[in-house]
Structure 1
Amino acid sequence: MGAPSAPPTHDYEPAGELKIGQVGVANLRVRTLDVARLATEMADRVKRAPKLFARAAVIVDFGGLAATPDAATARALLDGLRSAGVLPVALAYGSSDNEKLSVELGLPLLAKFRAQYESAAEPPAAASVGAAPAASSASSRKIATEADPARPDAGEARASAPAGQPGLIQATPVRSGQQVYADNRDLTVLATVGAGAEVIADGSVHIYGTLRGRALAGAQGNEKARIFCRAFHAELVAIAGNYKVLEEIPKELHGKAVQVWLDGGQLKIAALE
């Protein structure tokens, strides 16, 4: 008799492993529903900072408008943004009309994505197509900095603390793809923040090494927060959502010790004496 046959084996491993992680996604808050103008502004951002914005994932937020646009207008905007060089991937959570629009467009809604620096009492802008009132530089230069506590990721470090607790200290280098977030407090980095890395604090950010990645202070809207850096080569710096990229910063500040702060809604950068 031959040897008994081995029992059949079953592969219970999934073909794809799904994890919910935190990723860097820009939030485009639409204030004037002028498709051509919005596409032109985005193309300009991509041109000025291609390493940061080219093929970047973008959430489209219609919450600043008096009414949700129709599907045809929204599709035209999405096409314009794609032509500008970015990739719209979702709509920001909003009204029931916004939810219906997301279904028509075949895009997901990201609940609670809208950055918390946007005041709930802020009056909505007019929703007329083709209107082009002058936009303030502050409102057009904001990014979402909300870090969602429900989405931990192996590439990030997150530390929550009650108000008044000491700041978070990061003693080791923050490498490309990593994110360190100080919840409700300051963040002090004793080492380098590498290109492609991100450090975020609800308070101020202090970096004693070289900053080559992104630093975001006042993530929950604290306009008093500041960024201090010993050697400045940042891809991006932001306070309460107001940001600048390296290409917009005077070259004489590159490599210098600097501080970054808000003054009247405008982001200021100056060398430390």
Structure 2
Amino acid sequence: MALAANDYEQAGELKIGQVGIANLRVRTLDVAQLVREMRERVERAPKLFGRAAVIVDFGGLAQTPDEATARALIDGLREAGVLPVALAYGTRDNDALAERLALPVLAKFRAQYEHAEHADAAPARTAPPPPPREPAPASRAAAKPAAADKPRAPGRVQKTPVRSGQQLYAEGCDLTVLSTVGAGAEVIADGSIHIYGTLRGRALAGAQGNAEARIFCREFHAELVAIAGHYKVLDDIPEKLRGKAVQIWLENDQLKLAALE
């Protein structure tokens, strides 16, 4: 059975995190369908998803599933070919469930859907206002001006090839690779990614949820590309774009690809 044509028909939304760990956001608690969808992903891209680490996120459900259902899902995902390694951070019930399943709880996946879904979030705590300060005597020096905004970190530049098995992460900035990204290699940036050679591995831009990030490469053969968690694998890419100079961006939660003129 093929995957549903429209994303909203899927029982689970799979996104790729900033360290290459996939986050399975469960939207419909249908164990059979979730396992079937994951098995199809593994069959389509075994090098990417086979034995891949997956965080299971129940935050999109109205209530935390019971232990038997959650255990059936975990076991089913393992049979489908991936390795559930944790539950995503959630409610106290979610924490208790993770303990019964002998799984750790990891911080929430930083993706766009978090900005729109806060139904279960606790109200933010606010610190009490500081007591009023007495004005300084006129003889004292004038107060120092407010510190300037912290400058954005400069972009990271990689001059040598990124080889199979290597992972390169540009935290808080763009990443520029002056050479190639080999098959099995992974480049990640919180900003945009610019690759002046061939991209054969994986490129994940906007890793902390920046939907404005883009990916540019001179010769496109990527195993996977992702922006703010939205991803495509090579099988999803039109044949006419392979081997071309390409740019990738996010538009209305859809990943777009086009040849560079």
TM-score (norm 1): 0.74
Aligned to 2:259: 271
- Of 199, 206, 215, the residue aligned with 1:227 is 215
Q: Any conservation in 2 of the 1:163–1:185 contact (CA below 8 Å)?
A: no
Aligned to 2:104: 108
Q: Which one-letter code corresponds to 2:112 in the other structure? A: Y
Q: CA deviation at 1:115?
A: 2.1
Aligned to 2:179: 191
Instruction: State how far apart, in whole Å, the 2-side matches of 1:163 and 1:33 are.
Output: 44
Aligned to 2:117: 122
Q: Any conservation in 1 of the 2:111–2:229 contact (CA below 8 Å)?
A: no
Q: Which one-letter code corresponds to 1:117 in the other structure? A: Q
Instruction: State how far apart, in whole Å, the 2-side matches of 1:23 and 1:271 are.
Output: 27
Q: Any conservation in 1 of the 2:51–2:81 contact (CA below 8 Å)?
A: yes
Q: Which one-letter code corresponds to 1:265 in the other structure? A: D
Q: Any conservation in 2 of the 1:196–1:214 contact (CA below 8 Å)?
A: yes
Aligned to 2:161: 173
Aligned to 2:195: 207
Aligned to 1:35: 31
Instruction: State how far apart, in whole Å, the 2-side matches of 1:102 and 1:178 are.
Output: 31
Aligned to 2:242: 254
Q: CA deviation at 1:24?
A: 3.3
Cα pair distance change 1:102/1:51, threshold 3 Å = same
In the alignment, structure 1 residue 58 sits paired with structure 2 residue 46: no
Q: Which one-letter code corresponds to 1:169 in the other structure? A: V
Instruction: State how far apart, in whole Å, the 2-side matches of 1:268 and 1:121 are.
Output: 22
Q: CA deviation at 1:210?
A: 0.8
In structure 1, the residue corresponding to 2:94 is in which secondary structure?
helix
In structure 2, the residue corresponding to 1:188 is in which secondary structure?
strand
- Of 204, 210, 227, the residue aligned with 1:216 is 204
Cα pair distance change 1:167/1:23, threshold 3 Å = closer
Cα pair distance change 1:121/1:268, threshold 3 Å = closer
> Following superposition, which runs of at least 4 residues in structure 1 exceed 4 angstroms of deviation?
none
Percent of aligned pairs with the same amino acid:
72
Q: Any conservation in 2 of the 1:28–1:58 contact (CA below 8 Å)?
A: yes
Instruction: State how far apart, in whole Å, the 1-side matches of 2:35 and 2:192 are.
Output: 33
TM-score (norm 2): 0.77
Q: Which 5+ residue runs of structure 1 have no aligned equivalent?
A: 1-21, 126-161
Q: Which 5+ residue runs of structure 2 have no aligned equivalent?
A: 1-17, 121-149
Q: CA deviation at 1:223?
A: 1.2
Q: CA deviation at 1:83?
A: 2.3
Aligned to 2:123: none
Instruction: State how far apart, in whole Å, the 2-side matches of 1:269 and 1:243 are.
Output: 11
- Of 42, 65, 69, the residue aligned with 2:65 is 69
Cα pair distance change 1:107/1:174, threshold 3 Å = same
Cα pair distance change 1:23/1:169, threshold 3 Å = closer
In structure 1, the residue corresponding to 2:244 is in which secondary structure?
coil
Q: CA deviation at 1:166?
A: 2.8
Farther-moved stretch of structure 1 (90-99 vs 261-270):
90-99
Instruction: State how far apart, in whole Å, the 1-side matches of 2:167 and 2:235 are.
Output: 22
Instruction: State how far apart, in whole Å, the 1-side matches of 2:86 and 2:254 are.
Output: 29
**Pairwise CA RMSD:** 1.9
Q: CA deviation at 1:236?
A: 0.4
Q: Any conservation in 2 of the 1:81–1:88 contact (CA below 8 Å)?
A: yes
Q: Any conservation in 2 of the 1:203–1:225 contact (CA below 8 Å)?
A: yes
